[in-house]
Amino acid sequence: MVMVKEHDVRELEDVVIKFVGDSGDGMQLTGTLFSEVAAHSGNDLATFPDFPAEIRAPHNTIAGVSGFQMHIGKRKIYTPGDMCDVLVAMNPASLKANLKWAKPGATLLIDSSAFEEKAIGKAGYSDNPLEDGSLDDYHVIKAPVTERTRESLDDLGVDKRLAERTKNMFVLGMIFYLFGREMEKPLALIKKKFRDKPKVVLANQTALKAGYNFAEAMEETKVTFKVDPAPMDKGLYRNITGNVATAWGLLAAAERSGRPLFLGSYPITPATEILMELANHKSLGVKVFQAEDEIAGICSAIGASFSGSMGVTTTSGPGLSLKSEALGLAVITELPLVVVNVQRAGPSTGMPTKSEQSDLMQALFGRNGECPLMVMAASSSANCFHYAYLASKYAMEHMTPVILLTDGYLGFGSELFKIPDVNELPPINPPMADPNDPKFKPYRRDEKTLVRKWAAPGSEGLRHRVGGLEKTNIDGNVSTDPLNHQLMVNIREEKIGRIADYIPLLEVHGDPEGDLLVVGWGGTEGALASTVGRMQKKGHKISHVQFNFIKPLPKNTREVLSGFKKIVVCELNGGQFVNYLRMLLPEFKYQQFNKVQGLPFHVQELTDRFTKLLEE
Amino acid sequence: MIMYKKVAKSPVELSKQDFVSDQMVKWCPGCGAHAILAAVANVFPRIGYRKENFAMVSGIGCSSRFPYYVDTFGFHGIHGRAAAIASGLKIANPGLSVWVATGDGDSMAIGGNHFIHVLRRNIDINILLFNNQIYGLTKGQFSPTTPLGAVTKTSPHGTIEHPFTVSGLVMGAQGTFFARVPDNNIKLMSDVIYEAAKHDGTSVVEILQNCIIYADKVHEPVTTRDMREERQLFLKHGEPMIFGKNRDKGIMLTGNSLEVVEIGKNGINEDDLLVHDMYTKNPSIHRMTGWMKAPDFPVAMGVIRAAPADSYDGLMERQIETAKKNSKIQSVNDLLRSGDTWEK
């Protein structure tokens, strides 16, 4: 006789789930599958993988813990979430490392078969946390996952190794039960993922179903959760990471501008996915050159830009340092170039898989000479597409290098992306020189924008030379004339300044006047927007602006800042943007809130700080 | 192997004057670079491409002023990076004939990494390497090709560095084309540059160039007119390696090394000599030929190696053509809508 347990369904507005285990336990895949299923059933979501730099650190150690966090909701989801409601831990080390991120009373789903004496010791526990009462404040679901997975696969004749590797699907099955999800979609996704390996498909599907059934029969799962679909604009959607969105934005810009895309790059965490993604799309004509070093990455891209292609290089902080000299070359030759810097924690090698915003000053000023270029920042995983597209547009239309700052948090994280029609994106009109134009001179400029013409080798009547030596304006001959140098320095600065006429104005979220203006730039948008949104609901006179354009600043920046009694600039660095604002707009008094821990802002710490500022 | 020479031919016959720029040439009087400029202007019309399809790229140094003096598209880059810039230029537009003017400091020192990797990839660019064994533009410091013990401004007690042999580095990096010429033989230089242009892949032409100010006469033991027949071996594909004023000496392969022999002595005749095969893929003999140094050996001049191999840019074009033919994704809209999407 089957015992029917009493069943209670709890409705949630949003929920944060984190899968943690040993690297190699398949936590990334587990998380990705769950988020795809959630997205399909209509939830809004944001995800973030949290993994060590080591590929396979020693088994069962804290160093080897890999995680995947997701935040799903029936409302707009801005961030992957601070603390989790559900923590799935596959071994003692992952529990130890992540319990601090679980909310009080959170549900802990734990593979009890992994809690053997040796593993418990390796994690640094003196006693078994499943038995010593230390988890009493949580809702603990203990399941002998490893054991049960093996049992469920007994009849299939799969080897022990494969059985070991499908325990993540067993756990995922349990989670699907807990969240009342249909199994059709995940089963299909597994089939697609392992399509060439029927045995692996069968093992994973079997484990998934076994996990679901196991959870259904358990007493501890009598409460399950329900997260209804979120209201969203009509349209076609997909889940996308920031790095893939960046790659696709570049492809879209190349297509719309008619300029072939050339990427010269060197692998570096956390930017490598852009290089890998573009290498996949030769059918769109993109030429991807994996260079011998960062310098060759940017120099090859400059060579390609000189040829009339859309030259791009992608990197992270240490790579940007190596590219500094060549950036100056792109500035003085006035060629278009897009440099994507997926920022990570520095200095030096720093913490490659951890995110930070500490390359802003480097992007703005890290070159010899007076060397202005455009600096932009994406602010969500999905809008990396938009800003990569715009970075390319401004680079080509204004004949300048553009540094686009994203970060590891945006690059690795994912969210829902409303798929645009490429033909409806803003047009891109590169200033190509006409063959045999008798008026052509390398540095003759458009009066309004100060932009020179782009004359591709191969075009008749346009032979000319550019290079790293200072040139005379208009004619482009080598010159050390003092007044000409002053003129060229002024023009290069002014040319970037005038881009402000072509970028969108700064948008205030909330009232244009109030007690406190929260200022952020780039990847902190989600945390700042959700914090300010909540505080606005409570009646505080607080507003938020997020800068995507940093050099030049939007033209209404001064006007926006002047509407508030207090301004607080929040950044994941020591205070770089706030000092830039102090330099450009010294008439305002700026407070600052900085965090340099390789972690994103949490809503709670922001709320505390803003509340205090409002009270002071 | 695929041949991807896509550079358009000139519809009209061009002359030397078509490639002379309006800029004042600012090299020192007597500098070997003048001869290189003359040879290039001579040979570009003979190569026959449209003049708009030539692009000249350089790094930093005396050699690197070259692009200003040839009327082509030109790019004067930064120190050591010409090969990387030229790589991007050629890959982006294989329809260009891309040339790099560089020196021993620019390519052997600061640009060493790009130099070896462009060779390994076999990108179809032509590198003119002005080897004057000194840093000229910074006024007389030793370079990676300065002979051991040479006194320069930064080696007042003589260098304690073993120099690179350019050919050795090229072969070590699996280069497919290497030639060497002295700067006082414009005829040979023109011929060799012509061969370099024809080669599908990276070509390196080492020019033994005299720096009249800081390293005057360093190549003289080899290049001076009265010694040239004795100290230079002019290579011709398919012909035995013979040299000397009286053409009575030759190079023979003995065991696994080369040996200078006298023709007619000890029963040795022309048939015993090594026959030059510049097209063989096996680099062993090319390495030894390039390595020969005065005074024990004549220095090999002309094309030492021109081995056929796929070029990077050619392979790239082929991959793109194949992908375009076979992929379902023909536009970015296709890509955006590929894989897992859903309607709201």
How many whole angstroms separate alpha carbon A522 and alpha carbon A222? 43
Average pLDDT over chain B, rounded to an integer: 95
Chain B: nearest CA to A388, how far in angstroms? 14
**Across the interface, do B337 and A419 touch by the CB < 8 Å criterion?**
yes
Please, which residues bridge with residue A593 across strands?
A: A570
**Across the interface, do B74 and A466 touch by the CB < 8 Å criterion?**
yes
**Across the interface, do B74 and A464 touch by the CB < 8 Å criterion?**
yes
Q: What is the pLDDT of residues A257-289, one digit of tens each?
A: 999 999 999 999 999 999 999 999 999 999 999
Give A-chain residues touching B112 at CB under 8 angstroms. none
Average pLDDT over chain A, rounded to an integer: 95
What's the pLDDT at A160?
A: 84
Q: What is the mean pLDDT of residues A403-415?
A: 96
Give A-chain residues touching B21 at CB under 8 angstroms. 465
Chain A: nearest CA to B104, how far in angstroms? 19
Q: What is the pLDDT of residues A442-472, one digit of tens each?
A: 999 999 999 999 999 999 999 999 999 999 9
**Across the interface, do A252 and B332 touch by the CB < 8 Å criterion?**
yes
- Closest to A249 measured CA to CA, from A210, A281, A205: A281
Q: What is the mean pLDDT of residues B251-272?
A: 96
Domains in chain B and their CATH numbers? 16-218+311-326 (3.40.50.970)
Q: What is the pLDDT of residues A317-333, one digit of tens each?
A: 999 999 999 999 999 99
Domains in chain A and their CATH numbers? 8-227 (3.40.920.10), 235-503 (3.40.50.970), 514-615 (3.40.50.920)
Q: Which residue has the higher pLDDT, A314 or B5?
A: A314
Cβ-nearest to B92 among A291, A303, A477? A303
Any residues with CB less than 8 A from the CB of A333 and at least 6 apart, and which? A302, A306, A466, A467, A468, B75
| CA B93 to chain CA centroid, nearest Å | 21
Percent of chain A with pLDDT over 70: 99
Cβ-nearest to A292 among B50, B113, B329? B113
Chain B: nearest CA to A292, how far in angstroms? 7
**Across the interface, do B343 and A248 touch by the CB < 8 Å criterion?**
no
Q: What is the mean pLDDT of residues A195-199?
A: 89
Q: Find the length of chain B.
A: 344
Q: How confident is the model at residue A222 (pLDDT cuts 50, 70, 90)?
A: confident
Considering only alpha carbons, which residue of chain A is nearest residue B113? A292
Where are the alpha helices (H) located in B109-175, listed in sequence order? 112-121, 166-172
Q: Please classify residue A174 by burial: count the beta carbons closer than 10 Å to its beta carbon, then call 0-12 exposed, 13-18 middle and 19+ buried.
A: buried
Q: How confident is the model at residue B1 (pLDDT cuts 50, 70, 90)?
A: low
Chain B: nearest CA to A243, how far in angstroms? 14
Chain A: nearest CA to B31, how far in angstroms? 21
Give B-chain residues touching A284 at CB under 8 angstroms. 329-332, 335
Q: Is the pLDDT of residue A125 over 80?
A: yes
CA separation, residue B41 to residues A365, A453, B12, B73, B194 (Å): 42, 28, 16, 14, 11
Whether ipTM tops 0.90, in short, is yes
H or E stretch at A296 = helix A294-306
Interface test with A, best of B85, B96, B316, B337 (most A CBs within 10 A): B85
Q: Is the pLDDT of residue A5 over 70?
A: no
Q: How confident is the model at residue B340 (pLDDT cuts 50, 70, 90)?
A: confident
What's the pLDDT at A485?
A: 98
Q: What is the pLDDT of residues B115-144, one digit of tens each?
A: 999 999 999 999 999 999 999 999 999 999
Please, which residues bridge with residue A590 across strands?
A: A567
Q: Is the pLDDT of residue A1 over 50?
A: no
How many beta-carbon pairs below 8 A join chains A and B?
Answer: 201
Q: Is the pLDDT of residue A414 over 70?
A: yes
What's the pLDDT at A346?
A: 96
pTM of the model: 0.95
